[in-house]
Copies of this chain bind each other. A is one copy, B any other.
Amino acid sequence: MKKRNCFIGQSGGPTAAINASLAGIIAECIDTKQFDHVYGMINGIKGLLEHKYMDLLQNFNTLEKLDDLKHSPAMYLGSCRYKLPTYVEDSQTYDLLFQTFEKLNITDFYYIGGNDSMDTVAKLSQYASIIKSPIRFIGIPKTIDNDLMGTDHTPGFGSAAKYVATSMLEVAYDSSIYKLNAVTIVEIMGRNAGWLTAASALARTKYNDAPDLIYLPEVPFIKENFLNDIREVFKKKRSVIIAVSEGIKTEDGEFLDSDSQYAKRDAFGHILHSGTGKVLETMVYKEFKCKVRSIELNVLQRCAMHIASKVDLDESFDIGRYAVKTSMTGKTGVMMVFNRVNNQPYTIECDFKDVSQIANMEQRIPIQWINKKHNDITKELYEYLYPLIQGEVNITYENGVPCYANIDHLKQD
């Protein structure tokens, strides 16, 4: 009988849950008994083009090892930021990839990632269709931004949301201790979509009503309204806590920090939008002359496995399993999605959609889920978010710190 092997890759930015999806795919590959080899591309499709891959079944041959993988942050297989050219632009790259697939008897290709990764899945499956290759290409979504179309929510979002809510709660307690007027600004990731910033509202408990104000990139940021909002909160309390998305924009559509001295740039000169908190800090201080602090949650919000959402990790694992089940039925060119069957009790089912209908689009918060004053979320959005952060995970600790997977293979040349 001819050998049957598959590839798994990870791409884009890390989340706490992306390894859970990898573990789910491997677990199902083992259970189906259909594959001789389950290869992992190292550093995504870019690594594959350099013939960098590893045999995953050797490393993950027990349930315990898969469970450890499920509870490791970042990306076990490494990532790449690589936009696959179209085959019209560059047919050589496609030739190279499909030669590799043929040489390794690849029948199924699983790619876990965000929008750019889904674009890769769409292009590869279209090319396979043209050359009549039988290889199935399946996309598994992940992003802390929750901005992929076609799915109720994305794997990885719930864990980031739980980190944001927990940190916001702890910051609110921290800010409560002094008897003086103070404004604390928490800057949260999300360039165009405010889902993660909205999740700060989950910090509200019977004893905590922070954040007092929430500013999202879906609606314009108006300085006068912002300062008035703070003034209103000061009438009721001393400590004002604000959640703000890094990507808030003025009415003219300008990022708030675009001409800021705090705007950071990456190695390619692209502005990294993470000076927004600092810009607001200065704005508030000038107006109120009170204690002001801005806190940037930074990458911690996407890698803090120690406070991951159990619902998120379990779903991310399940969607990985379901991706294999889906390709076994012969499907290709699809992205796995979640459908919310019910909210009380929260019930999700896995499904799939045509990836070409999903890739390169952006799912933002519907305007009716933002309050009229544009400084908070509605009850409907709260209820949408709430189930996604439920449950805590059991991390193994060794010597006082979490015990995460061996990623030495990512450090080699």
Taking A202-B401, A306-B166, A400-B390 as contacts, is the C-beta distance between A407 and B14 under 8 angstroms?
no
Q: Bound complex: CA of A91 vs CA of B267, how far in Å?
A: 62
Number of interface residues of A (CB under 8 A): 79
Contact between B202 and A405, CB atoms less than 8 A apart: no
The yes or no answer to A73 lying at the interface (CB within 8 A) is yes
For A47, give the chain B residue with the smallest CB separation. Answer: B179
Taking A165-B400, A264-B281, A386-B400 as contacts, is the C-beta distance between A303 and B173 under 8 angstroms?
yes
Residue-wise, chain A 61-104 has the 8 Å CB interface mask toward B (1 for contact) of 00000000000111100111100000000000000000000000
Residues of B near A405 (CB, < 8 A) are 207
The yes or no answer to A43 lying at the interface (CB within 8 A) is yes
Taking A166-B402, A169-B402 as contacts, is the C-beta distance between A176 and B407 under 8 angstroms?
yes
Contact between A267 and B180, CB atoms less than 8 A apart: yes
Residues of B near A302 (CB, < 8 A) are 174
Give the residues from 376 to 413 in chain A that come closer than 8 angstroms, CB to CB, to chain B: 386, 389-392, 397-408, 410-411
The yes or no answer to A341 lying at the interface (CB within 8 A) is no
Q: Bound complex: CA of A266 vs CA of B294, how far in Å?
A: 12
Q: Bound complex: CA of A386 vs CA of B304, how far in Å?
A: 21
Minimal beta-carbon separation of A157 from chain B (angstroms): 13
Residues of B near A397 (CB, < 8 A) are 392
> Which of A121-129, A285-293, A361-369 makes up part of the contact surface?
A285-293
Residues of B near A208 (CB, < 8 A) are 404
The yes or no answer to A307 lying at the interface (CB within 8 A) is yes
Minimal beta-carbon separation of A21 from chain B (angstroms): 15
Residue-wise, chain A 296-309 has the 8 Å CB interface mask toward B (1 for contact) of 10111011111101
Taking A170-B304, A267-B289, A400-B309 as contacts, is the C-beta distance between A178 and B281 under 8 angstroms?
no
Residues of B near A296 (CB, < 8 A) are 295-296, 298
Contact between A404 and B202, CB atoms less than 8 A apart: no
Contact between B14 and A174, CB atoms less than 8 A apart: yes
For A206, give the chain B residue with the smallest CB separation. Answer: B406
Give the residues from 137 to 184 in chain A that come closer than 8 angstroms, CB to CB, to chain B: 162, 165-167, 169-171, 173-180, 182
Contact between B386 and A179, CB atoms less than 8 A apart: no
The yes or no answer to A205 lying at the interface (CB within 8 A) is yes
Residues of B near A278 (CB, < 8 A) are 262
- Sample of 17 more A-B contacts, CB < 8 Å, known A173-B404, A306-B306, A391-B400: A43-B178, A43-B179, A72-B173, A74-B174, A78-B179, A79-B177, A162-B401, A166-B401, A166-B402, A170-B303, A170-B306, A171-B303, A180-B267, A208-B404, A239-B411, A306-B307, A309-B400
Q: Please give me the 10 A-B residue pairs with the lowest Cβ-Cβ distance, nearest first.
A: A74-B173, A389-B400, A174-B303, A79-B177, A267-B291, A170-B303, A75-B177, A207-B406, A295-B298, A390-B400
